Chains A and B, each alone.
Chain A
Amino acid sequence: MSDVPRPLKIAGQSVRRRDLVEKVTGAAEYCVDVTMPGMLHAKVVRSDRAHARILEINTGEALAHRGVVAVVTAADLKPLFPRFGHIIADHWILASGKVRYYGEPVALVVAESLADATDAAELVRVDYDDLPAVLDAEEALAAGAALVHEESYPATADDSFKILAGGVHETDASVEDRPTNLAHEVTLEWGDVDQAFADAAVVVESQAGYPMLYAYAMEPYNAVASYGDGELRVVSTAQHPYMVREDLARVFGLPLAKVRVIAPYLGGGYGSKSYTKVEPLAALGSWVTRRPVKLVLDIEESIYTTRVDSAQVQVRSAFAADGTILARAFDIVMDSGAYADNSPLVLAKCVNRCFGPYRVPNLRVRGRSVYTNTAPASSYRGFGAPQGNLAGETNLDRAAEQLGIDPADIRRRNLVAKGESLLPGKRGMDAELVADLDMVVASLERDRRDEPGYGIGFGCAASDAGAFPVSTAQVRIQTDGSVTVLSGSTEMGQGSRSLLAQVAAEELGVDLDQVAVVQSDTAITPYERTTGASRTTTLVGLALQRACADARAKIRQMAAEVAGVSPESVADAPGGVELPDGSTAGFGDVVQRWFGGSAGEVTGIGLLRREGPTQEMPPFWEIGMVGVGVDVDLETGHVVVDQLVTVADVGFAVNPKAVEGQDLGAATQGLGAALYEELVYDGPQLVNANVVDYRVPRMGDLPRKIDLMLAERRDGVGPYGAKGAGEGTLNPIGGAVAAAVARAVGRWPTRLPLTPERVWRLANGIEEDD
């Protein structure tokens, strides 16, 4: 292909998303719709204690119930590897010896119908001996605290974790000399922080609490599993089917090739369906009964399966009189619940992201992820960024106020420039942050109202996104010239199925309707490490471009053979090749003639790893630039979002309307955390483990003005200069709302969400009493 950029025909167009038609007719298949022949149904028996020794599990009555085939407990795990977890394999499939949180699976009832399983689950009697429980991070870190885990677990062999986590000066001081409740600790430090604080004109201290959240993907966790003849097949709601495959292979001692994990359309993910959830339970049920088993959680069970890490963050920043940042120091404590899951990486990312996209000459960050006797926490959209960004941005806004500097100016002064280093040893900044910020501020100022109770706030974020660059893709050129794209990435609503078709159509010069995309089946599609960290457009897009180039090279070779000319003399043409005599042949013709008999197929393979454009980590910086304007009712504390302004610095939008959709969706989830959402523990259990009391944004909460802007400067490593999207606009929303409310009421909040009561208390200077 030539080096001259060709005009793009399909990439860059807001094409109709191909998955949407299936979804509006009800024909789209989600995991929860999948059945298998002879399928049984499972119901989980869960702990009703936060922390207790299991004395006895009496299954007799349940086993005698109509339709019950098996009641599975930890005793059945003996021949298996009994735990999962991709960083630390500490997560018991069924509680063994003791329970560590209210809601932990203790037994699995498998029956002919869901009604039978549900009825019989009530009949399983578990005798417990209560243990002292640690219900928040502070309690868990106190001297002499009860231990959530008495033993330490060896880390899995996944060394990419360190690469993903690491800044060069980062030390990972984890876990070897437990017993404590410290699940993981990460520090990051450079410069002479103490000297910088001593030299500062102004030092600003603040703290911020980020709430415990639930992602609420509307399709709850579920899986159907079938074990037999040394093979395991699992259909599940997994964002990362290949990572789940590794956990399952370890549990059942099977070769990876004998474990097939399929992820159909996901009813929402937002990070909450990353890594292994209910798949081992369903598989265990099938392993015991040798029949397919389906397990569908309800929403309460899903909340107790995976929540978001809450965080308490202390910040100190040192400034020169002109607002230049001299040093920053952060102390982060995350409540990660009873099992590590992905919290070590969430913590590491929070450490990398908390200080913002600013030039910080001297930095010290300490992050701790703490085990507590609460529901396990793991990945969530933004990945540690929302937790850290709130603290860092609020601190910067307070500094601007103290220094008498405009909050946009203090940011302009400190934002890193394009190409400048943000984290030592990492890719330089691949975005123009000041230009992005100017777009946000101009839009906000245009519609700002100067009246009591009105405030604007904005924030900046940059995330080391894209995850670990291992991607593979294949394209299969058919005898009629149509194209099948194979990718292991998952379609969870973000639009990858449509986007990958656009990239293949663009690269091969075929019509969009000639391209089919098959995804996320470990037995059929090529390896994809994860679907997260906004990676698919950039990394799968690159792998797919390589697959298309590989297919084209093969086709040119075949065309040369058939025509009896040299391969170098054959050129690419849209949907085919051009021969030296000026004639053209379509892909299908070439395939048919080379194989003969109107048969055959050509497969192009694309492999991506850490080299060339994706050598430097992160593959790209994901930028978040947002602003809000709020109306606060000073009588009631009720907050109405008057303006929501976002800039998506995506390099190039392959499907602009899809990018806007991601931005508004992410920002809206951010508004949920900022204003409404918080899981609340009162004693061992949540008081609001349901969608009635855990309030998420509704249609009536729509901001009055929504301004979604795209910054396309073709500065990413992905196809056509693209970078990822989908998390960025969530990350700085919390800080932006906190600042807007603070400016409206005259006092700075120290925690989210800003519920009416909290805002009313702030406005009236009345402390919270909990």
Chain B
Amino acid sequence: MNDKDIERYVEELYKQLDGKIDRAEIEKIFRLWLSYNYSPETVKEKILQKYKPGRTVKIGEIRGEMKNVNTIGKIVAIKSNVRDGRSTFSGIIGDETGTIPFTTSRDMPFKKGDVIRITNAYTGYFNNVLRLYIPQGSGVEKLENYNMGRIQVTPSKFTIDKIDKNTRNIEVRIKVLHSEERETNGKKRISGVAGDMTGTIPFTAWNKMLEEGKSYVVKGAYAREFKGKIYLTIDENTEVEESGEDVGVNINLTTLQDAMRDGIHIGLFEGIFLDVSEDTGLVARCPVCRRILKGTECPEHGKVTPVNDLIGKATFDDGTLSGRVIFSRNDMEKILGKGFDDIVRMVVTYPGIPVVKEELEKRILLKPYRILAKVSLKEQNFINMTPVDIKEVGEKELSQLKEKLMEMM
């Protein structure tokens, strides 16, 4: 927390307290609380509770355990429970900023859709979920003709493995493993694969920026089933924020055979490159459709000025099946440890020799690699693999395998 952030909070508090307390005093109290390792949001709440009791808070502002909560909300759900002859009510109320479940032993003669004002309630955790408790001594009244905006349902936190086909309002922390940008009807659509410590999930995002390799907190997404697979859908109303900390991704090793059998779209595979194809090297592409050209004419776009590109193709075998890995220019630069210009210079220096193929062979042929790749089955059981991440097997991976072996023996 730097001085600038503190200044921002102080200014906010100053406004909310209607200037009743001067900035220096607020800052002093703020810094005092912070020094006890409270989060700035909590400190803000503490100060507001102390100097502005009785103020009405938005439901979205209710965080953590609070006392003397006054709020206004619309009943989203309500039911009565009778236990031991005593009846209690529970349900959910919400406003434009969020929702919260409530519990009360008071009489609640209201129905779904009613807007109520609650005074002197408190909050607490039950089963790790924050709830609003409305005790006997609190006040509850129905507000007629209250103009309430669209209720913002507070997203619930999920890990990828827990996302089901009907899950809505998902809050999830993900790392984008792969993303591709497309345009549909003028709308930018990004499709890709995201992961966390529990697994991976394909996603579709509309008009949002999601970059490969970056971590995000996504709030308000929903799941959709398509061709038997569950997709995370991120639409315009979903909040996407880049995460300060890197989200760890844990993908278990799989085999090409299992991936084909289970219809997996992306997986971590371990195997050996058995062959590097003659097609490896510099290519000319049509600047419009990216098709690889034999000359300067594109079958679709006529005479064009081709753009240079670099590709690599290799046969990857994991002992169960084999696939054709297609390396992009980025992959090639990474594996060869050379920039594009250096590679072009190399090709020009040794005309007639497939130097790029030979360089690639030197690095990967008959060596064990782990590749995180998108896999797709082409006709005749031909598996195409597009790498997302590629890494040579090292001591760490070998000792993992040894551990597994010792368990089996």
Answer whether A and B are interacting partners. no
